[in-house]
Homo-oligomer: A and B are copies of this chain.
């Protein structure tokens, strides 16, 4: 029985962390290595039944995740927590070490990782310093970048806006309105290390990287501090700045109505 068949099968949800460096993004595609493909292979092997995994959303080539959320159905009810722990352990044992799952648990039959997600939170990691240890997930920016200036500018992102100017896809029909709950830069423990956190109900294709690329231009005084409202109004991707590199971007957590997230509660 195929696990994608249905409503009658017990449903489970899981959190997925991955280093996106080696993958052509989340979504299964013929001929390239993707996170979804590896996850479905591992779950199928561990469960001895075909498993289809539905994620909260796609991530692009090279983008990482700490709190991706996915659901899948199994023909068997893993009634006991210990059975879920064993399955989680088996899946991790099969997965390559740059993908890990955790917090496998039962979900309501109608839970849907994508449609039920209410807020998604991304982080984009930068440093003004040359970094070696975190080089796979942190992008160097010019030492003269002004984070306070970027934070003042980022205020203009909050609220409901049409984000066409920050969307890579050219489809005319898609709804381009997103509600941004927070968008600001946070200083980390090591001087020079910062991350940009942005939380919204939904994100368009390439949106965070286009926003970060534009903010960095503002931080380097290549754009006015108050230029974001005008860029948003233009609804034209060419008006915004270049996309920041994929490797700095992490899908950090996904929030659902039951106030669970893509971060482990341990």
Q: Please list the residues of chain A having a beta carbon within 8 angstroms of any beta carbon in chain B.
A: 17-19, 64, 66, 92, 97-102, 128-133, 135-137, 190-192, 250, 263-266
CB <8 Å contact, A133 and B66: yes
CB <8 Å contact, B133 and A19: yes
Closest to A85 in B: B143
CB <8 Å contact, A92 and B130: yes
CB <8 Å contact, A137 and B130: no
9 contacts across the A-B interface (CB closer than 8 A): A19-B135, A66-B133, A98-B132, A100-B129, A128-B266, A136-B136, A191-B263, A191-B264, A191-B265
Residues of B within 8 A of A266 (CB): 128-129, 191-192
Residues of B within 8 A of A137 (CB): 133
Known interface pairs A190-B264, A264-B192; A19-B101 also in contact (CB < 8 Å):
no
Residues of B within 8 A of A136 (CB): 136
A263 to B193, CA, bound (A): 12
CB <8 Å contact, A101 and B130: yes
A97 to B17, CA, bound (A): 24
